Each structure stands twice: as structure tokens, then as C-alpha cells.
Structure 1
């Protein structure tokens, strides 16, 4: 208990999934948490659950595509709790029906994805950093993705936006490190959030499992606990890094799973 005692955290996209996990864990460990989400009722319900568990939290509206809405969430945090020392830039979106290959993708979707996934990280940090400087430091954590490290047949804008988050994380870390502000990112692989469970057929989950080094998929708390670590002083000498939380999905020779199947089949014949 108390790993982030006394800290004030703003979590964007905190009404469900990874954001909710991080908000809940940080509140449990002593932080005062503002949960900002487009689903404002979900954010308020999440805050109410945290309060019932003995934590301190409040839910507010956030439209991560709007600069004034991001600023309002930061300002609210400071007005409510006096400062902001942790910012978890977690909002992100993807639409595989429109965000497809480079030749055929919807260009309006490119702009929308870049605004929400990358520009919101810039703006959230832009508005929070002056308050963190006044507070004597802080920790900014950004949600990147393994899509920022590997190519795919679709989601070109999503992958580009997450690669931007990875590099922007380094720039923020370099520019404000002397102000005792750390900036890191977490890059999830496939995580079994409610959205993933509801939208991904079992056959697709099986494909991902085949290429994991570990024999299971990640859960929201696997990311939430990483965020908690980065928010805490336990990580005080870590900055500019992107921690890949992906079950070893991307570490092996890409042919290894098929090769192992070939060997097993050969031995059984």
C-alpha cells in the first residue's frame, strides 16, 4: 500500500480497460485520481467504485480530439486536487474498416487517428507540464502499442500514430528531465480488455496465442501494474523508455511457431 501516496493522477480513457485498471490500482496505492473519458457516465461510475473501495477519485468528460477539452481536464485536476503529478495519456482509437492499407485507406481516418492517438499525448503533456514543474516534478506515461514497432497489413494510421507516441515520449523526457519530469510509454500487445474479448473471434485469439512466448494472453492489470510502477518513485531513474508488455509475441524468429509444428508433426509420423 502507498506506492503512489500523495500523488495526483489524471487518467485519460479511464472508464474501461487499461485506463480503468491503472486508475483503480493507483487509487488503491494512495493517489488521488481523475478519470477522464468520452463516456462520462462510465468515468463517474468507475470513480464511485473506487471511492467505495476506500480510494479517492472523480470522473469527468473528455473529448481527446479537442484541445480545449484536454486543457479543461488538466485544469479540473489542478482545481480539484491542487496539482497534477501523474498524467497517463491513454486515449486511443482504431477502426480497421477505414484504417487499412496505404493506397486505399480513408485519409480523413488518418487525420482522426493522428489527432486522438498522437496529438492528444502532445496536448495533455503540454498542459500538464507547467503544473508538474511547479510541483517539483512528475511522471507522464503514454500508451503506445506494439503496432508502433512492427508493420501490419492494415491499420496504417494506427501504427504510425503509435510510433509517433514512442518517439514523442523520448522528446518529452529529454526536454523536461531537468525539471524532474519523467516520461515513459507502455506498448501493449494483445490485451484481453472487454473490447478485445467482445470484438475478436476465438480463432483470432488462437492465432495470437500461437506466436506468444508465454502460454496465455495479457490482461488489463498487466498494463495497469506497469503504469503504476512508472507512476511511482520505484521507477525514478527510468525515463524516455517504452516498456513492451506483449507476452514475448514479437521477440522470436517469426517462423518459430510454424517450425515447431513441423518438427512435432515429423516426430509423430
Structure 2
């Protein structure tokens, strides 16, 4: 309970998946939590569920593409609980029908993803940091992605926006560290959020499993626990870092699984 005692956390995109996991874990650890999401009903329902478990939380509407909405969420948090000590910038979006390769990516979709995935992080920090400075500091965690570290056949806008989040995290850490503000990011690989389970065919999940170093997929709590650690004082000497939570999917030579299969056949 003491890990987040006296902390006040604003979590964007907190009504489901990774954000919801972080909200529950932070509340369980003693934080007062504001869950902000475009799905306002889902955010309020999540907050009520936390309250039934003995935690303190409230749900509010957030449009991550609107600067005014982001500012209002920060100001609501401060008005509701007197301060903001933890900010989890977790909103992210992608669209596989429009976010294609460099030649074919929809340029309006490029602009939309840069706004939702990147500018929303900048704005969340822009509005929260002055309040954090007033109360002695805080911790910011941004959701990046392993797509920000690798190339892929599609999702060029998503990958570019998440790579920018990684570097923006370093800039925030460098510029506000002397104000006792830490800023880190978490880069998930494939995580079995409800959206992933509902939208990814089993064949695609099998492909990811083939290249994981571990024999299972990640769950939202795997990211939620990392966020909780980075937001807590246990990580007080960690800043400007991006923690990759991806089951070892990207650590090996990409030919390893195919080479192992080749060797099995050759040894028959």
C-alpha cells in the first residue's frame, strides 16, 4: 500500500487494457487515481470498480486530440485531489487500413496519429509539469512501443510517432530533472489487451509467439506493473529511460526460429 501513498495519478486512456491495469495497480498501492478516456462511461465504470475494492478513483472524459480537453483533465485532477504527482500518458491509436507504407500512407492519418500518439504526450506534460513543480516534483510515464525501435511493412506513422515519444521522454527528463521530475517510458511488444484479443486472428498471434523468447504472450498487468514501478519512489534514480517489455521478441537474430526448425529437419 505504501508504494504510492500520498500520490495522485492521472492516467490517460485508462478505461481499458494497459491503462486500466495501471489504474487498478496504482490505486491498490495507495494512489488517488483519475482515469481519463474518450470512453467516459468506461472510465467512470473503472473508477467505481476501484472504489468497490477500497481504492480512490474518479473517471472523466478525455479527447487526446484536443489540447483543451487534456488541459481540463489535468486541472480536474488538481482540483479533485489538490495536486498531480504522477502522469501516465497512455493514449495511443493506429489504423491498419490507412497507416500503410511510406508511399501509400494516408497523410491525414499521419497527422492524426502524430496528434493523438505524440502531441498528446507533449501536452499532458506541458500542462502537468507546472503543477508538479509547485508541489515538489513528480513522475511521468509515457507509453511508447517496440514499433518505435524497429521497421515494419506497415504502420509507418504509428512507428514514427512512438519513436518520437522515446526521444521526447529524454528531453522532458533532461529539462525538468532539477525540478525533481522524472520522465520515463515503457515500450510494450504485443500485449493481449481486449483490443488485441478481439482484432488479431489466432494465426497472427501464433506468428508473434514463434519469435518470442518466452513461451507466452504479454498481459496488460505486465505493463501495468512496470508503470507502477516507474511511477513509484522505488524508481527515484531512473529517468529518461524507455523500458522494453516485449517478452524477448526483439532480442535475437530474427533467423533463430527458422534455423532451429532447419536443424531439426536436418538431423532426422
TM-score normalized with structure 1 length:
0.99
Q: Aligned partners of 1:29 and 1:104: how far apart in 2?
A: 46
Query: 1:247 is paired with a residue of what secondary structure?
Result: coil
2:73 paired residue number: 73
Q: Aligned partners of 2:63 and 2:104: how far apart in 1?
A: 28
Aligned 1:71-220 pairs, distance under 5 A: 71-220=71-220
1:24 paired residue number: 24
Equivalent residues, number? 268
1:263 paired residue number: 263
1:266 Cα shift?
A: 1.5
2:2 paired residue number: 2
1:237 paired residue number: 237
1:160 Cα shift?
A: 0.2
Q: Aligned partners of 2:2 and 2:49: how far apart in 1?
A: 19
Kindly report the root-mean-square deviation, in angstroms, between the aligned alpha carbons of the 2 structures. 0.4
1:42 paired residue number: 42
Q: Aligned partners of 1:254 and 1:152: how far apart in 2?
A: 13
Q: Aligned partners of 2:81 and 2:214: how far apart in 1?
A: 41
Q: Note the alpha carbon deviations across 1:34-82, whole angstroms, 9 max, x for none.
A: 0000000000000000000000000000000000000000000000000
Q: Aligned partners of 1:265 and 1:67: how far apart in 2?
A: 57
Query: 1:19 is paired with a residue of what secondary structure?
Result: helix
1:135 Cα shift?
A: 1.0
Query: 1:59 is paired with a residue of what secondary structure?
Result: strand
Q: Aligned partners of 1:242 and 1:29: how far apart in 2?
A: 23
Query: 1:3 is paired with a residue of what secondary structure?
Result: helix
Query: 2:3 is paired with a residue of what secondary structure?
Result: coil
2:222 paired residue number: 222
1:112 Cα shift?
A: 0.2
Query: 1:182 is paired with a residue of what secondary structure?
Result: strand
Unpaired runs of 5+ residues, structure 2, are none
1:2 Cα shift?
A: 2.0
1:158 Cα shift?
A: 0.0
Q: Aligned partners of 2:153 and 2:121: how far apart in 1?
A: 25
Runs of 4+ in structure 1 off by over 6 angstroms are none
2:13 paired residue number: 13
